Amino acid sequence: MKVSIIGLGKLGSPMAAVYASKGFEVIGVDKNPTYVESINAGKAHVDEPQLQEFIDAHKGRLTATLDTKEAVKKTDVTFVIVPTPSGPDGTFTNKYVLEAMNEVGVGLKDKSDYHLVVVTSTVMPGSTNGEIKQALENASGKKVGEKLGLCYSPEFIALGSVIRDMLYPDFFLIGESDEKAGALLEKIYMNACSNSPRVERMNFVNAEITKISVNTYVTTKISYANMLSEMCDYLENADVNVVTQAIGCDSRIGHKYLKGGVAYGGPCFPRDNVAFGRLADQLEANASIAVATDSINKGQKDRVLKMINALNNKPKKIGILGLSYKPGTPVIEESQGISLAVALVKSGYEVVVYDPMAMPAAKAVLNDSVDYATSVEDCIKKCDSAVLMTAWSEFSEIKDDMFSGKEKEFVIIDCWRVFTKSMFKNVEVVYQGAGFLAHSQEKKVLNARAC
Ligand X SMILES: NC(=O)c1ccc[n+]([C@@H]2O[C@H](COP(=O)([O-])OP(=O)(O)OC[C@H]3O[C@@H](n4cnc5c(N)ncnc54)[C@H](O)[C@@H]3O)[C@@H](O)[C@H]2O)c1
Chain positions contacting ligand X, by CB under 6 A:
6-12, 29-32, 35, 68, 81-84, 96, 99-100, 103, 121-122, 154-155, 157, 159, 267-268
Is 175 in contact with 202 (CB distance < 8 Å)?
yes
Strand pairing category for 148-152 and 171-176: antiparallel
Smallest distance from the beta carbon of 407 to ligand X, in angstroms? 44
Smallest distance from the beta carbon of 70 to ligand X, in angstroms? 12
Of 23 and 360, which has the nearer Cβ to ligand X?
A: 360
Of 35 and 152, which has the nearer Cβ to ligand X?
A: 35
How many CB atoms are located within 10 Å of the residue 245 CB? 13
Smallest distance from the beta carbon of 156 to ligand X, in angstroms? 7
- Tell me the torsion sign for CA atoms 220, 153, 324, 335: negative
Active-site option among 268, 379, 383, 415:
268
Is 310 in contact with 362 (CB distance < 8 Å)?
no
Of 80 and 437, which has the nearer Cβ to ligand X?
A: 80
Chain residue at closest Cβ approach to ligand X: 9
Q: For residues 58 and 53, what is the distance between their CA atoms, to the nearest angstrom?
A: 9
Smallest distance from the beta carbon of 284 to ligand X, in angstroms? 26
Known active-site residue 268: yes
Q: For residues 26 and 15, what is the distance between their CA atoms, to the nearest angstrom?
A: 10
Q: Burial of 286 by CB count in 10 Å (0-12 exposed, 13-18 middle, 19+ buried)?
A: exposed
Of 97 and 388, which has the nearer Cβ to ligand X?
A: 97
Of 30 and 294, which has the nearer Cβ to ligand X?
A: 30
Smallest distance from the beta carbon of 35 to ligand X, in angstroms? 6
Is 148 in contact with 184 (CB distance < 8 Å)?
no
Q: Which residues are marked as active site?
A: 268
